[in-house]
Chain A
Amino acid sequence: MNTVAMPPLSGPVHHDDIIPARAPWDRIVRKGQTLRIIDLEGNQAVDFLMYRHGDDAERYSAQDTMAAQGNIFLREGSVLLSNEGNPMARVTATAVAYHDTIGGACSCESNTLRYGFHTKAQHACVENFLFANSHHGLGKRDLVSNINWFMNVPVEADGALGIVDGISAPGLFVDLRAEMDIVAVISNCPQINNPCNGFNPTAVRVLIVGEA
């Protein structure tokens, strides 16, 4: 069990939102502010994308981020880079050992491959991303490899990988400090066919704190 305490955040609390299970969420986070995500009930995957506010063709790049740090896991200290190599946010603190950025977002379409055609009508993260992005003039072609906070995707020596049982727990958190003004988009993952949500999607809490 990880014992990292949630550090105090200074400055005004601009938003303190509960994202219901299975729901999308989107807000603007200003440079210098902290976005805190709390896994209220434990092992709830929080699918996350971000775009540069005002020039949203620049967006989070999992590949640039992993290449720059030489490691596939996101940990405290990881700098989240854009597709043009600019720091968008920094993981300033987290109580979870590592987070995922290779597993992508579940979709109705990929669910048909992974689990069978009977899952086509189930809600999925891509549905949430498309809906949340529509508030910002963004669409399907703006979806790229995302971050999955609180999700565990190990890679074995032979390349085998998969979404396996989580390493988060109730009340664990991740803090991101924005390094530019960003549009932050979340899908509170509705997946029920793998252990990313402990087979039980739950609510998460999200705060935006600090002087812009």
Chain B
Amino acid sequence: MVQADPPASNTADPKSAREHARAMGHLRVEAMPTVPAADAAQRPDGVPADAMLWEETIPGGGYAAKELHRGARLRLWDLHGDACAAMLVFNAERPVERLNIADTVKVQWNAYLGPGSMLLSDMGRVLMSVLEDTAATHDTFCGASNARTNAARYGSGDNFGPHPNARDRFLLATAKFGLGRRDIHPCVNWFKGNRIGADGSMSLELGPYAPGRFLTLRADMNVIVVLANCPHPRDPRPEYCVSALRASAWRGPVAPADDPVRNASPEARRAFLNVDEYFQR
């Protein structure tokens, strides 16, 4: 029996394999981080290159996480109008303190997040504030998809398959900060809206929308932000519909005394006072 020659290979020995690997370094795709962030493809107006901390484009089904220091701005771009950014937030110094969705809506006496809203921790402090929002369709009720919901709608929901679910994306992202399955707390879903009727019913606002909607958040504490860009759990479309999300972050000042979010309500003033006291060291 005559054996066919093996296919021509340029990875047969370590040095050839090294060359093969190194030849890939110049490749660019849509969903990737920009490193260094100073080279950002979409630097926000007025932000100098050396203030940029992060730019990463997260594919539909993808995830990312970033530690941001107090004062940093985080902009989330719904690049093509069909992103769904499920987000967790932890106090980076002490991650047992984390976003508390119930307190966030209860303390602010409102369930719909927008400019001037705070993301509150379970310790009565402001983790992040919403400074700008051109989308106005967000959801604090439905949380993350999971393996079961994605399997039911798309036939699969695994991280290794074509339909990853937000909970399992959170699991991978939080694991890289030493956090785990019991740390995945109720989340906020940016860019997909959910209006509640008097009878408690939900009306989803799923778009797709015009490209380029964004919101800008400010880190009011040192935070770990975790993002999973997966279809909303109540998205009725049979296809796995979710488009790329871009996250950009840059250095900025902490909330000053006359900050509009800080002064928006008596509850906000006390929440920021609790942050001020936390950072008295």
Query: Among the listed A72, A73, A142, which residue makes an inter-chain contact with B182, where contact means beta carbons less than 8 Å apart?
Result: A142
Is the CB–CB distance between B111 and A161 below 8 Å?
A: yes
Is the CB–CB distance between A162 and B109 below 8 Å?
A: yes
Is the CB–CB distance between A159 and B112 below 8 Å?
A: yes
- Contacts known (A104-B103, A107-B124); A85 close to B96, Cβ less than 8 A: no
Is the CB–CB distance between B186 and A63 below 8 Å?
A: yes
B107 contacts chain A at the CB level, 8 A cutoff: yes
- Contacts known (A113-B120, A161-B106); A67 close to B233, Cβ less than 8 A: yes
Is the CB–CB distance between A160 and B146 below 8 Å?
A: no
| Chain B min CB distance to A39 (Å) | 20
Interface residues on A, range: 35 or more
Is the CB–CB distance between B110 and A159 below 8 Å?
A: yes
B205 contacts chain A at the CB level, 8 A cutoff: no
| Chain B min CB distance to A53 (Å) | 15
Q: Which residues of A contact B274 (CB under 8 A)?
A: 109, 112-113
Q: Which residues of B contact A98 (CB under 8 A)?
A: 200
Q: Which residues of B contact A142 (CB under 8 A)?
A: 182
- Contacts known (A57-B180, A73-B200, A112-B270); A85 close to B149, Cβ less than 8 A: yes
Q: Which residues of A contact B210 (CB under 8 A)?
A: none
- Contacts known (A104-B100, A113-B270); A63 close to B167, Cβ less than 8 A: no
User: Chain A contact residues: over half helix, strand or loop, or mixed?
Assistant: loop
Scan residues 76-128 of chain B and give those whose CB is less than 8 A from a CB of chain A: 95-96, 98, 100-103, 105-107, 109-112, 120, 122-125
Q: Which residues of A contact B107 (CB under 8 A)?
A: 110, 113-114
Query: Among the listed B98, B109, B195, B201, which residue makes an inter-chain contact with A160, where contact means beta carbons less than 8 Å apart?
Result: B109
- Contacts known (A70-B234, A84-B147, A104-B102); A140 close to B96, Cβ less than 8 A: yes
When chains A and B are docked, how far (Å) is the Cα of A158 from the Cα of B270?
A: 24
B49 contacts chain A at the CB level, 8 A cutoff: no
Q: Which residues of B contact A107 (CB under 8 A)?
A: 103, 122, 124
Is the CB–CB distance between B106 and A63 below 8 Å?
A: no
Q: Which one of B144, B183, B186, B233 has the greatest number of beta carbons of chain A within 10 Å?
A: B186
When chains A and B are docked, how far (Å) is the Cα of A61 from the Cα of B267?
A: 27
1/0 contact trace for B128-154 toward A, CB 8 Å?
000000000000011110111100000
A169 contacts chain B at the CB level, 8 A cutoff: no
Q: Which residues of A contact B98 (CB under 8 A)?
A: 141
| Chain B min CB distance to A176 (Å) | 19
Is the CB–CB distance between B100 and A86 below 8 Å?
A: no
Q: Which residues of B contact A23 (CB under 8 A)?
A: none
Is the CB–CB distance between B182 and A141 below 8 Å?
A: yes
B198 contacts chain A at the CB level, 8 A cutoff: yes
Is the CB–CB distance between A71 and B124 below 8 Å?
A: no
The 9 A-B residue pairs with the shortest CB-CB distance in the complex, in nearest-first order: A104-B102, A63-B143, A109-B124, A85-B148, A159-B112, A73-B200, A67-B142, A155-B196, A57-B181
A-B contact pairs, 17 of them (CB 8 A): A57-B180, A57-B182, A63-B186, A63-B187, A64-B143, A70-B234, A73-B200, A85-B147, A104-B103, A107-B103, A109-B125, A113-B267, A113-B271, A141-B98, A146-B102, A161-B111, A162-B106
